[in-house]
């Protein structure tokens, strides 16, 4: 199966470009631009084109704050509502058989991020895949963010104007459908697709596994630092949408305002809503999937418990100190004692002492940060691993590696840092500078461990033999660190302290916005 820069897709011909020993195709539309009457609607089919479409430049990022589109110092990716594109990266050398496909969904709290971010380029991962197989085909996608992608505005539909729910989630499904239709033309195997993502992208993975429309579109899943519980109830989403419209200023006709407001106005109202939600319900975020009873019929955590989640092999895990990033760069978690007090008062006051007692040093700032990180990422990811392991191969990990400079910064193995291993950042100038004070050899070794396991899993649906499957008896977990090892039931005391705690799912009444 030969690789060629010119490929015929179901919508038209695209022309990519060589990148060393790889070929890249960028900015390929997988759905029609969601603009004009398609704003706030489910993704629609691409209008086929004639001739050859240039696919050598990144497509637009989704509408967001400029900082989320930074590509390098002083250089930013253009953003637009016209953003539903994806990118393909494949080896240039021929293959005798179709290659496994890995589809990456970027993170950014469903408000920031773009597939053009250099970290997500995928070159190191694809080249590593060629060492012990014919390689993989790597796909990365853009999808709608913020209020234009993850706020349920369906209550404002009129007889002449419909607004759909779960738009970003629908975009991701549309991208996976594109992969099924077209990836064979790029040398990929549509019957062996791994979807993987980090943070909001990890939440997208755990949510897609509970989305009926995604059934059969992927065959393995890797969820890195997901926050599986950050899926809104319909009632909560309805309240947030009303609050958003209040910040937007509807002028008496909400549907017309939603149609006509420019993206800057949407952004300002979304920022006000995010601050309001954090103040009133620490640990929640207004932008994300919604249990609408239709496209997403139930909370994904419930789907894992009752077995209705797609029973595909799963890698799921978190980092050693997820929370340290947030007070410094994205203050959006319950990472101080005041927010933790509010969190438990709204959810389960009786659980507070048991949980905080499991974190010696509380209420110190450092310990509060760990509680907030575990509440958001580790505890619900562990729930997914436990439930899913009863029905499908499941592999649990914790990424603990942090070079000396990360420890100096007080970040340790913080949220998102495992991506540096997944995407081989140790090989770059940035990675070498980061490890100049120490840790370069260990960084290379942990990168090799992560990439080899991710790639083996994408090929086979199982980890390498050194990594046993997770179950609720042994709870064997891979600890990626300077000395990578398997550990039984890591942080057992913390796990037991959180048992039975349901978070906001146990809240009886909604707080009033102030």
> Given 81, 198, 243, 322, which residue is catalytic?
322
| pTM score of the predicted model | 0.97
pLDDT of 186 > 60? The answer is: yes
Q: Is 322 part of the annotated catalytic residue set? A: yes
Q: Is 199 part of the annotated catalytic residue set? A: yes
What tens digit of pLDDT does each residue of 438-460 get? 999 999 999 999 999 999 999 99
The token pair at 230 is: 């950050």
pLDDT of 339 > 80? The answer is: yes
- In a domain, residue 215? The reply is yes
Per-residue pLDDT at 510: 53
**Mean pLDDT confidence for 224-236:** 96
How far is it, in rounded angstroms, from Cα 449 to Cα 217? 28
Given pLDDT bands bounded at 50, 70 and 90, which one contains residue 271? very high
pLDDT of 511 > 60? The answer is: no
- The crossing angle, in degrees rounded to 10, of helices 263-280 and 234-248 is 130
**Mean pLDDT confidence for 491-496:** 98
Q: Please name the residues in contact with 352: beta carbons below 8 A apart, sequence gap of 6 or more.
A: 340, 341, 344
- In a domain, residue 472? The reply is no
Per-residue pLDDT at 508: 53
**Please, are residues 110 and 5 in contact by the beta-carbon 8 Å criterion?**
no
pLDDT of 507 > 70? The answer is: no
CA-to-CA separations, 237 to 46, 259, 263, 273, 277, in angstroms, rounded: 30, 20, 21, 12, 11
- In a domain, residue 26? The reply is yes
Residue-range definition of the domain harbouring residue 272:
6-312
CA-to-CA separations, 13 to 7, 45, 106, 247, in angstroms, rounded: 6, 16, 26, 44
How far is it, in rounded angstroms, from Cα 81 to Cα 262? 10
What tens digit of pLDDT does each residue of 282-307 get? 999 999 999 999 999 999 999 999 99
Q: What is the number of domains present in the chain? A: 1
* Ranges 45-54, 233-242, 243-252, 349-358: which has the least confidence: 243-252
CATH code, domain carrying 238: 3.40.50.1820
pLDDT of 80 > 90? The answer is: yes
> Given 225, 415, 418, 445, which residue is catalytic?
415
Q: Please name the residues in contact with 417: beta carbons below 8 A apart, sequence gap of 6 or more.
A: 319, 399, 401, 402, 406, 411
**Mean pLDDT confidence for 63-74:** 93
CA-to-CA separations, 280 to 238, 284, 403, 446, 510, in angstroms, rounded: 16, 9, 37, 40, 10
How far is it, in rounded angstroms, from Cα 151 to Cα 169? 11
pLDDT of 513 > 50? The answer is: no
Instruction: Label each residue of 90-113 as H, E or C.
Output: EECCCCCCCEEEEEEECCCCCCCC
- In a domain, residue 137? The reply is yes
Per-residue pLDDT at 183: 98
Per-residue pLDDT at 2: 43
Beta bridge mates, 316? 223, 396
Q: Mapping DSSP to helix (H, G, I), strand (E, B) and coil, where does residue 4 land?
A: coil
- In a domain, residue 473? The reply is no
- In a domain, residue 91? The reply is yes
**Mean pLDDT confidence for 348-371:** 97
Given pLDDT bands bounded at 50, 70 and 90, which one contains residue 512? very low
pLDDT of 89 > 80? The answer is: yes
**Mean pLDDT confidence for 316-342:** 95
Given pLDDT bands bounded at 50, 70 and 90, which one contains residue 252? confident
Beta bridge mates, 134? none
Given pLDDT bands bounded at 50, 70 and 90, which one contains residue 251? confident
- How far is Cα of residue 80 from the mean position of the Cα atoms in its chain? 20
- In a domain, residue 359? The reply is no
Residues in the chain: 514
- In a domain, residue 371? The reply is no
> Given 79, 95, 115, 199, which residue is catalytic?
199
pLDDT of 87 > 50? The answer is: yes
């Amino acid at each position: 199966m030969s690789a060629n820069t010119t490929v015929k897709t179901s919508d038209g011909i695209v022309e990519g470009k060589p990148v060393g020993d790889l070929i890249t195709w960028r900015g390929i539309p997988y759905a029609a631009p969601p603009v004009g009457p398609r704003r706030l609607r489910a993704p629609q089919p691409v209008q086929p084109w004639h001739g050859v479409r240039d696919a050598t430049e990144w497509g637009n990022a989704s509408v967001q704050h400029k900082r989320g589109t930074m590509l390098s110092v002083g250089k930013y990716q253009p953003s637009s509502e016209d953003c539903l594109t994806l990118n393909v990266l494949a080896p240039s050398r021929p293959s005798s058989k179709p290659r496994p496909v890995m589809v990456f969904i970027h993170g950014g709290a469903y408000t920031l991020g773009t597939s053009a971010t250099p970290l997500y380029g995928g070159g190191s991962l694809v080249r590593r895949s060629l060492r012990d197989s014919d390689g993989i085909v790597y796909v990365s996608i853009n999808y709608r963010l913020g209020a234009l992608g993850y706020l349920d505005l369906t209550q404002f539909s009129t007889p002449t104007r419909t607004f759909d729910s779960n738009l970003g989630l629908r975009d991701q499904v549309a991208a996976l459908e594109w992969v099924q239709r077209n990836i064979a033309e790029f040398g990929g195997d549509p019957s062996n697709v791994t979807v993987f993502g980090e943070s909001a992208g990890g939440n997208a993975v755990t949510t897609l596994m509970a989305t009926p429309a995604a059934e059969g579109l992927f065959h393995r899943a890797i969820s890195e630092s997901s926050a599986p519980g950050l899926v809104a109830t319909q009632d909560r989403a309805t309240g947030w949408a009303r609050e958003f419209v209040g910040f937007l200023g509807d002028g008496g006709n909400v549907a017309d305002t939603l149609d006509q407001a420019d993206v800057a106005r949407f952004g300002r109202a979304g920022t006000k809503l995010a601050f309001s939600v954090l103040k009133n319900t620490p640990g929640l975020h207004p932008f994300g999937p919604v249990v609408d009873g239709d496209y997403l019929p139930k909370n994904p955590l419930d789907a894992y418990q009752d077995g209705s989640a797609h029973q595909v092999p799963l890698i799921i895990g978190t980092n050693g100190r997820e929370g340290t990033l947030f007070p410094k760069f994205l203050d959006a978690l319950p990472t101080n004692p005041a927010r933790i007090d509010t969190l438990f008062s709204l959810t389960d006051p009786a659980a507070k002492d048991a949980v905080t007692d499991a974190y010696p040093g509380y209420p110190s700032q450092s310990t509060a940060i760990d509680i907030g990180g575990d509440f958001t990422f580790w505890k619900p990811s562990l729930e997914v691993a436990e439930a899913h392991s009863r029905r499908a191969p499941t592999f649990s990990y914790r990424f603990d590696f942090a070079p000396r400079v990360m420890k100096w910064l007080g970040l340790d193995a913080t949220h998102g840092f495992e991506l540096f291993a997944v995407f081989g950042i140790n090989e770059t100038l940035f990675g070498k500078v980061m490890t100049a004070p120490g840790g370069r050899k260990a960084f290379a070794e942990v990168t090799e461990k992560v990439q080899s396991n991710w790639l083996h899993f994408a090929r086979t649906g199982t980890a390498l033999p050194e990594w046993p499957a997770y179950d609720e008896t042994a709870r064997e977990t891979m600890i990626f660190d300077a000395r990578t090892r398997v550990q039984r039931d890591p942080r057992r005391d913390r796990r037991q302290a959180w048992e039975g705690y349901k978070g906001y799912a146990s809240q009886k009444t909604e707080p009033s916005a102030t």
